[in-house]
Structure 1
Amino acid sequence: MVKRDSYLKRLIHNMWNGEVKVITGIRRCGKSVMLFDLFYEYLLSQGVPEDHILKFELDQRRYYKYRNPITLCEYVEDAICDKKEEKFYLFIDEVQYTTKVVDEENGGITVTIYDMLNELKAYKNLDVYVTGSNSKGLSNDIATEFRGRATQIHVYPLSFEEYYSHVKGDERKALDTYMLYGGMPRLLALEDEKDKKDYLTSLFREVYIRDIVERNKIEREDILGDILNFLASQISSLTNPTNISNALTSMKNEKISSTLVANYVQHTIDSFLISMAKRYDVKGKTYFQYPNKYYYTDVGLRNARLNYRQYDPGHIMENVIYNELMRRGYSVDVGVVTDRSKGKNLQKEIDFVVNDADRKIYIQSAFRMDTEQKTSSELASLMLTKDFFKKIIIRMDIPHNFYDENGIFHCNLIDFLLGRVELF
């Protein structure tokens, strides 16, 4: 089992803070293991009795009755009410499976799991933790539904550092494998290449697509699949719902509305399968509405979606960097700067504008810079900012890190992913 210390430390840090701890992330990324194994074992090591940790895995048949939030709440209250001097912990896995119910005893009002959790967290002897795989009604609405009293911890598939801590060996070989199959934890138990591919393909078909279709009552699963294919083939490229709808209209010989596409894309984002990076005008300090960039939460799932036909290491590398920056908790945008030299008015791109509170850096992703034209292109966007924020080019083709004559830091990809360099 991979020790996911960064998440465990956050859970420990937020114990008994008076808020519901909401652990979000794509299904099968390790949320349940994080809570029900790693954090559970930590609590036991601290002397917490097993029967003081109340566990409900709502995707398991034996817990189906507790999808009713009133039934769940009443069970918990019965367990803790007469023991106010003792500390209890409540774990609820896959909270999105709960249903809304009508409370006939209290005037027929509609009750949700959020109502029950807000009631339960008022108990001073109960610390509450829930996991969920869908941001719709969960992370997007945490502030509203939990009345500003929730702490979100978002879990990603294994980072390269976590992955490498398990496989060890040659770093470059490990990275090549990681960029092909990604970081879904279950892969660590699979050695055969075919087994890995079959597992990722099955995850996509049997878990993610089925979840999105059922949860959002999708009528055109074929269009959803086409959108996922399009986004997989366009990672690190700018696009928008209109471009996607035009491409699908041409391919399917039927009119596909951009509104339908926009809704389906949002469903993939809500499921944590896809992330969207907005474009940010570095000088104007404003956001553009469209186009944006879309990245897969796990590059192995992206590759599996395309049946490993489009393996572009440069684009995959950019996706890996984006995921790593997000995993570290930074705010990440796509930068836009305008080149007005020689009467031109050209927009140029900075791959990532990375913010950490009041600190900012610019990052370019460059698989290799082996020609003068490629070097000039990567440097030009950074130089156009004309400010003093740190500028970094993350590269695959350099053996060591260095600053160039423009003060730009050239960083080896593996050193970045393994945390050997300080970004800020």
Structure 2
Amino acid sequence: MTGKDLLKTIITDSQQRVIPEVWERTLKIPTDSGKIITLSGVRRSGKTYHLFSLMNQLKASGVPNEQLLYFNFDDERLQLSSRELDSILQAYQELYPTQKLSDCYFFFDEIQEVDGWEKFISRIYASINQHVFITGSNAKLLSKEIATGLRGRTITFEVYPLSFAEYVGVLSPKLNPHSSTDKATLINLFDRFMHQGGFPELVHQEDELKDKVLQEYFNVMVLRDLIERYQISNSSTLKYFCKRVVGASGGEFSVNKVYNELKSQGYQVGKDTLYLYQNYVEAIYLNRFINKYSHSVVKAESSQKKCYVIDQGMGAALDYKLSQERGRLLETTVALELLKQGRQIAYQQNGSECDFVVIEKGRVTIAIQVAADFVDVKTKEREIKGLIQACQKFGLSEGIILTFDHTEQLEQEGVRITAVPAWQFFFGRSN
């Protein structure tokens, strides 16, 4: 039970807060779509700042501050039930009795903290106005509730930590990817980005504190988003599972393998429980799983999955072995950059492996290999073989190999191959 005085305090505090200037992000979110805008993503990825950016845009266009109702549900003082959500609107109207709700813009942060929230949002949309923006840190909960209560009324945007182009834009906005004099700086920034990641809060943080902050992010996700949300009693098993997911980044992940490891160590846990954990960790954006490519959705979903932690810096902070393996860190960074661009990706394996194929409208349009070391002869042969097989399978005349800092063009078996530094591929193309 939450008193109306507390709701008024929270609303007043948010109204009086000076909305901070925010970094420009590449994700463009409309303010007048006529739909409920949903921002979904890992904690601390910048969802709230996207809301602040929208609020700044509205204020700049002449919307008064009193018409912007921002409410953060991730507040330990709150104990709201779905039946009490209307109290927020009542508290707001008592604070601003001359302000019509129909003229307001509603910004509800981390709304999944209240069970049954979708009926409240649906009621606002249907009977008050359509200027509704919500955020949440659990993809499965949001998608389930949207599907049941808000079908056809929403547009969902996934929010990730900063892309490399955004990261450079914050730290060194005047760098030119086409300038030879800026190349060394860009390589250094990419190496830093690859090891420290793109969580916005940490861009200007002192290096010695970054690992501690990232480890704390992880602990909050495990405790609040998993143990408390799903009422998991076997916390030690869950923590082990989460760390194995992080440590597997850039490689295959097998529930069976983790099950056998736990069993050999004396843990009592069923395999079905671990499959639930696999769904949970992806739902809270601890990681992304990608499937082996198949025309069949069923075969793709049941295939051996590859795993990528949601932020390469978090992976490096939590798993020492990953932090020391440039190849897996680079592959993780590439996977995340592709996802941040909104790409649908899978991997291809037919004897040899191709790290990523990009799928557009059900058709593979790009094949990408990742090779931190493209000088070693055996590595080069293996990567080229996997890329050529993928290109031939999908009828592609060219393929891409993303390296750390190697450029080369060649042609084999009728396939043009371009090796290019990953930093240049992701930063150069966006400028």
TM-score of the superposed pair, with normalisation by structure 2 = 0.83
Matched, 1:233 2:252: no
CA deviation vs aligned residue, 1:243-287 (integer Å, no higher than 9, x gap): 11112222x234432212111121111101111101114799952
SS at match of 1:223: helix
| Mapping for residues 128-277 of structure 1, pairs under 5 Å | 128-168=132-172, 170-191=185-206, 193-250=207-264, 252-277=265-290
CA 1:368 to 1:352, structure 2 compared with 1: closer, same or farther past 3 Å?
same
- Give me the CA root mean square deviation: 2.9
CA deviation vs aligned residue, 1:174-204 (integer Å, no higher than 9, x gap): 112111111111112312x221121111221
In 1, are the aligned partners of 2:70 and 2:106 still within 8 Å (CA)?
Answer: yes
Q: For residues 162 and 76 of structure 1, what CA distance do their matches in structure 2 show?
A: 36
CA 1:38 to 1:383, structure 2 compared with 1: closer, same or farther past 3 Å?
same
Partner of residue 325, structure 2: 312
> In the alignment, which of 94, 104, 109 is matched to residue 88 of structure 1?
104
SS at match of 1:362: strand
Shift of 1:71: 2.6
Letter in 1 for 2:53: L
Shift of 1:311: 2.0
In 2, are the aligned partners of 1:159 and 1:183 still within 8 Å (CA)?
Answer: yes
Identity %: 25
Partner of residue 363, structure 1: 368
SS at match of 1:21: strand
Shift of 1:328: 0.6
CA 1:419 to 1:253, structure 2 compared with 1: closer, same or farther past 3 Å?
same
In 2, are the aligned partners of 1:241 and 1:259 still within 8 Å (CA)?
Answer: no
In 1, are the aligned partners of 2:103 and 2:129 still within 8 Å (CA)?
Answer: yes
CA 1:87 to 1:419, structure 2 compared with 1: closer, same or farther past 3 Å?
farther
> In the alignment, which of 293, 311, 315 is matched to residue 280 of structure 1?
293
Shift of 1:73: 5.4
Matched, 1:373 2:378: yes
CA deviation vs aligned residue, 1:196-234 (integer Å, no higher than 9, x gap): 121111221234433211001111111111112212222
In 2, are the aligned partners of 1:18 and 1:121 still within 8 Å (CA)?
Answer: no
Shift of 1:79: 9.3
CA 1:420 to 1:225, structure 2 compared with 1: closer, same or farther past 3 Å?
same
CA 1:119 to 1:369, structure 2 compared with 1: closer, same or farther past 3 Å?
same
Shift of 1:371: 2.5
Q: For residues 266 and 393 of structure 1, what CA distance do their matches in structure 2 show?
A: 31
In 2, are the aligned partners of 1:272 and 1:297 still within 8 Å (CA)?
Answer: yes
Q: For residues 138 and 358 of structure 1, what CA distance do their matches in structure 2 show?
A: 25
Partner of residue 15, structure 2: none
Letter in 2 for 1:257: G
Letter in 2 for 1:372: V
| Mapping for residues 286-301 of structure 1, pairs under 5 Å | 286-287=299-300, 289-301=302-314
Letter in 1 for 2:284: S
Shift of 1:378: 0.9
| Mapping for residues 42-121 of structure 1, pairs under 5 Å | 42-60=57-75, 65=80, 68-72=84-88, 87-99=103-115, 112-121=116-125
In 1, are the aligned partners of 2:358 and 2:367 still within 8 Å (CA)?
Answer: yes
Shift of 1:75: 5.5
CA deviation vs aligned residue, 1:41-89 (integer Å, no higher than 9, x gap): 1111111111111111111356655863343455578899997796321
Letter in 2 for 1:149: R
CA 1:234 to 1:53, structure 2 compared with 1: closer, same or farther past 3 Å?
same
Provide the aligned length of Structure 1 versus Structure 2: 393
Letter in 2 for 1:374: T
Q: For residues 358 and 262 of structure 1, what CA distance do their matches in structure 2 show?
A: 27
Q: For residues 125 and 209 of structure 1, what CA distance do their matches in structure 2 show?
A: 36
Partner of residue 394, structure 1: 402
Q: For residues 381 and 308 of structure 1, what CA distance do their matches in structure 2 show?
A: 25
- Which moved further from structure 2: 134-143 or 259-268? 134-143
The unaligned stretches of length 5 or more in structure 2 are: 1-20, 176-184
- Which moved further from structure 2: 155-164 or 303-312? 303-312
Shift of 1:144: 3.2
Partner of residue 389, structure 2: 384
In 1, are the aligned partners of 2:347 and 2:356 still within 8 Å (CA)?
Answer: yes
TM-score of the superposed pair, with normalisation by structure 1 = 0.84
Matched, 1:20 2:36: yes
CA deviation vs aligned residue, 1:356-400 (integer Å, no higher than 9, x gap): 3366211111111223221221111222242432421111131x4
Q: For residues 69 and 289 of structure 2, what CA distance do their matches in structure 1 show?
A: 36
Matched, 1:6 2:26: yes
Q: For residues 417 and 95 of structure 2, what CA distance do their matches in structure 1 show?
A: 59
